[in-house]
């Protein structure tokens, strides 16, 4: 809980490197981020179309596996870093964990993020993609054998569970309770089931809400299939028992691409190019694995071709080449049905330099959280551009300090994270690299200072900074000769910040100011649906991240302070009820609510949810 009451969690929740990823590498620091799509708006808490676990598998591998692990057991490559921040990664693939969770709750988590677990909102995914990811996550704790067993026990039970809206609001534990006790139109058809049998039926029922694979078509002109064992004709519309329903791998395809040389000199002879291909397990409970690893050389004209490659539908390809210690990669390419030739995006390579003056800090947004009586948390969001014609190599050294970012004098608890929407940083030995990019690079530097009635800040500029913005909790003021007081500005319908701005700093200059005052308790509407957009394009990326995180932080803190004051009548829609259930679960896991009171209140909220559904 030492970080729980700090806006630090809100910022890191939006930008944490661990929860976005590329299939081919684990970059530390910072990772390979891809620019997000426009921020999502709140949608009904059930999918418009049946979610597709097959599509969700690729999205899970890209966005979730680095933290949650390939099989959802919380053992992803970035989990150790989070555990160092006293964060436990939820084991989505554990039956004990997943059986009490609803798709609506997980969808909302993917949409909004989870502050206390450093999980960002995935604004890069559209609505259907988020439901697809949730569907895939729900397959991680089941097996084909369990679902087949549930199917054999279900009989005609599926007729009661065809509504996506209803099923999105029910956990597997809820389904077990329904089949054992019945409710409304649902009879107690499973009252004699063992717990394992009931859970198998629940898993099967859940699988029916997912998009089903399209069976292969059969040419009516072909001869009638016969049973391979008996030789007798099979009934019309049936296929050979045990026959493979998936198409045979398509070999003999080609994967091609090219390298654009921007180094200013001729490329070395025989530049090595590596092709990597990834596939997903057929039962959708296995993670993507590298199934193709081929090495070739660049042709004299800058092209490369890999021939006789398996280009089966759904495979994912990426090529990479290393120049001057920096590995450049193409974008991912997914094989679509019928493709035999796959073209990869151009790989552009540049000359390298360690001259940091090629970088420019376009803006610096600073937020101070003074809620903690002992430590004031500071978050500095840097937007950096490399408009040169070279890749800038940044060596971080043994102290893991980024040499162009300075912390205020006396700051402790130093750390960095890549901002969501940043141009992708590239991994190199002993640091990272920043190729030329039209998209800015985003870095967040966070630290803490002793809290006091007056907090002096001296922020140095190690590179020129064009513009500086300070965002302070309402009630806190700043004294500084070069700062312009922008007054209190409303950033959402329910949240205000005191904003100060300053003109740029030259390299080597410092911005000196003093924080004074006490933060006011900003009232927020606990109904998230009243704030339709979670991320706002106000004053640049840093401000948007802070707004999103701050809103969720203040909303959750208000709920912690007033967990029992809401009655069912306060909830106008299912989204509000789901919000309340999630907050209640958080409080129970934190040990703030006795188990008996938690179970009673959760039951009341779920009953209300069913009535409103």
SS3 395: strand
- At 176 the three-state DSSP class reads helix
Tens digits of per-residue pLDDT, 541-557?
A: 333 333 333 333 333 43
Looking only at the bridges linking them, the beta strands covering 426-428 and 476-479 are unpaired
Residue 378's beta-bridge partner residues?
368, 447
The yes/no answer on whether domain 51-211 falls in CATH 2.60.120.510 is no
Quick: pLDDT tens for 453-469: 899 999 999 999 999 99
What SS3 state is found at 505? strand
Closest CA to 417 of 394, 441, 395: 441
Cα separation, 601 vs 172, in Å, equals 19
**In angstroms, what CA-CA distances link 486 with 361, 385, 458, 467?**
22, 26, 20, 14
> What is the structure's pLDDT at 568?
46
405 HSE (CA, 13 A, CB side): 25
Domain with CATH 1.10.760.10 in the chain: 51-211
Confidence check: pLDDT of 42 > 50: no
The SS3 assignment for 164 reads: helix
For the cut 90, the answer to whether the pLDDT of residue 237 exceeds it is no
Mention every residue, 6+ apart, whose C-beta is less than 8 A from residue 378. Answer: 366, 367, 368, 369, 408, 411, 446, 447, 448, 449, 457
Higher pLDDT, 463 or 4: 463
Euclidean distance between CA atoms 85 and 484, whole angstroms: 36
pTM: 0.51
Q: What is the pLDDT of residues 160-170, one digit of tens each?
A: 888 888 898 89
Over residues 172-194, the mean pLDDT reads 89
Q: Which residues of 342-374 are buried (b: 16+ CB within 10 A; e: fewer)?
A: bebeebbbbebbeebebbbbbbbbbbbbbbbee
Separation of CA 378 from chain center: 24
pLDDT one-digit tens code per residue, 302-355: 999 999 999 988 788 999 999 888 999 998 888 888 889 999 999 999 999 999
Tell me: the pLDDT tens digits for 555-594? 343 344 444 444 444 455 666 666 677 767 766 665 656 6
Helices and strands, number each (H, E), in the chain: 14, 22
Which pLDDT belongs to residue 613? 56
**pLDDT tens by residue, 345-389:** 999 999 999 999 999 999 999 988 887 778 888 888 899 999 899
């Amino acid at each position: 809980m030492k970080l729980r009451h700090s806006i630090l969690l809100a910022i890191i929740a939006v930008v944490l490197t661990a929860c976005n990823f590329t299939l081919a590498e684990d970059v530390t620091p910072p990772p390979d981020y891809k620019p997000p799509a426009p921020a999502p708006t709140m949608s009904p808490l059930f999918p418009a179309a049946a979610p597709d676990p097959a599509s969700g598998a690729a999205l899970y591998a890209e966005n979730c596996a680095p933290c949650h692990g390939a099989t959802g057991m919380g053992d992803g490559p970035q989990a150790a870093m989070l555990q160092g921040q006293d964060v436990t990664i939820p084991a989505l693939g554990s039956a004990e964990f997943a059986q009490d969770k609803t798709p609506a709750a997980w969808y909302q988590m993917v949409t909004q993020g989870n502050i206390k677990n450093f999980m960002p909102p995935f604004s890069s995914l559209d609505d259907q993609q988020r439901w697809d990811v949730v569907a895939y996550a729900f397959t991680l704790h089941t097996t084909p054998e369990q679902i087949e067993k549930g199917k054999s026990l279900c009989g005609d039970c599926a007729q009661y569970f065809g509504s996506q809206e209803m099923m999105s609001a029910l956990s597997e534990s809820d389904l077990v309770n329904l089949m054992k006790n019945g409710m409304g139109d649902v009879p107690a058809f499973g009252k004699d089931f063992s717990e394992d049998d009931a859970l198998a039926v629940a898993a099967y029922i859940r699988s029916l809400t997912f998009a089903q694979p399209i069976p292969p078509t059969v040419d009516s002109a072909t001869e009638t299939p016969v049973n391979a064992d008996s030789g007798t004709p099979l009934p019309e519309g049936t296929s050979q028992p045990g026959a493979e329903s998936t198409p045979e791998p398509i070999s003999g395809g080609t994967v091609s691409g090219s390298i654009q040389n921007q180094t200013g000199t001729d490329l070395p002879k025989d530049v090595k190019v590596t092709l990597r291909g990834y596939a997903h397990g057929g039962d959708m409970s296995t993670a993507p694995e590298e199934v193709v690893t081929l090495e070739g050389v660049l042709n004299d004209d800058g092209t490369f071709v890999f021939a006789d490659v398996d280009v089966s539908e759904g495979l994912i390809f990426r090529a990479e080449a290393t120049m001057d210690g920096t590995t450049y990669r193409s974008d991912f390419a997914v094989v679509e049905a019928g493709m035999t030739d796959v073209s990869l995006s151009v790989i552009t390579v540049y000359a390298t330099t360690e001259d940091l003056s090629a970088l420019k800090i376009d803006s610096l947004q600073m937020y101070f959280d003074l809620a903690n009586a002992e430590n004031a948390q500071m978050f500095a969001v840097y937007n950096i551009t490399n408009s040169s014609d070279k890749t800038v190599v940044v060596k971080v050294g043994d102290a893991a300090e980024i040499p162009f970012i300075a912390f205020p004098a006396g700051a402790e608890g130093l750390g960095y994270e890549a901002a969501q929407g940043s141009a992708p940083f590239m991994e190199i030995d002993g640091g990272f690299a920043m190729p030329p990019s039209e998209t800015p690079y985003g870095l967040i530097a966070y630290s803490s200072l002793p809290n006091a009635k007056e907090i002096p800040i001296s922020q140095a500029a190690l590179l020129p900074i064009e513009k500086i913005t300070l965002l302070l909790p309402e009630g806190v003021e700043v004294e500084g000769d070069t700062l312009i007081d922008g007054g209190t500005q409303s950033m959402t319908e329910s949240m205000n910040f005191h904003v100060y701005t300053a003109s740029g700093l030259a390299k080597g200059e410092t911005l000196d100011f003093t924080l004074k005052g006490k933060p006011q308790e900003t009232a927020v509407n606990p109904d998230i649906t009243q704030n339709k957009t979670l991320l706002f394009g106000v004053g640049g990326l840093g401000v948007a991240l802070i707004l999103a995180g701050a809103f969720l932080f203040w909303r959750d803190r208000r709920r912690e302070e007033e967990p029992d004051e809401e009655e069912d009548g306060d909830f106008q829609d299912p989204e509000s009820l789901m919000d309340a259930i999630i907050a209640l679960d958080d409080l129970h896991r934190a040990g703030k609510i006795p188990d008996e009171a938690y179970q009673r209140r959760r039951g009341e909220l779920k009953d209300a949810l069913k009535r409103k559904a």
